[in-house]
Amino acid sequence: MGTRVNSSERVAKRGLAALAVVGLALFAAGCSSTDALYPAIHDMPAARTETKLTPAEVQQATDNLVHEREHLNIEAQSAGNPQPVAATTGSVPPKKSAAAAQPAAQQSDSGVNAYAKQ
């Protein structure tokens, strides 16, 4: 005589099979949706349509930034804040000890102003 499978074992096997099918379906759906998020390895972006800024445009942008900083300093001082807005150019400022050791004629320009003078 063969062995009989009782109903609780049959329910457990069917539940396990259903869980495996659902898990595989979720895994497959997750894999297919990530393909749209990342480009293929050999896909290259389109060439840029914008041109580089001319030295005159760089100078104009620098002047606008300096003007805006001065305007903010005036507003801050009128509001009672004695500290001016920091003058940053995005580059690391030279050390004061090294700058003090060089004559003013030998100090190199840095930041946006150096780029604008090229």
For the chain, what are the domain ranges?
A: 9-37, 54-86
| Top-confidence range, 38-52, 67-81, 89-103 | 67-81
Do 82 and 106 touch, CB atoms closer than 8 A? Answer: no
| Top-confidence range, 17-26, 61-70, 76-85 | 61-70
As to burial, measured by CB atoms within 10 angstroms (0-12 exposed, 13-18 middle, 19+ buried), residue 73 is middle
Look at residue 115 and tell me whether its pLDDT is greater than 60: no
What pLDDT is attached to residue 95? 54
The residues, any chain, with a CB within 8 Å of residue 89's CB and separated by 6 or more, are 110, 111, 112, 113
**Span 51-56, average pLDDT:** 92
Provide the Cα torsion 76, 77, 82, 83; round to 10°.
Answer: 40
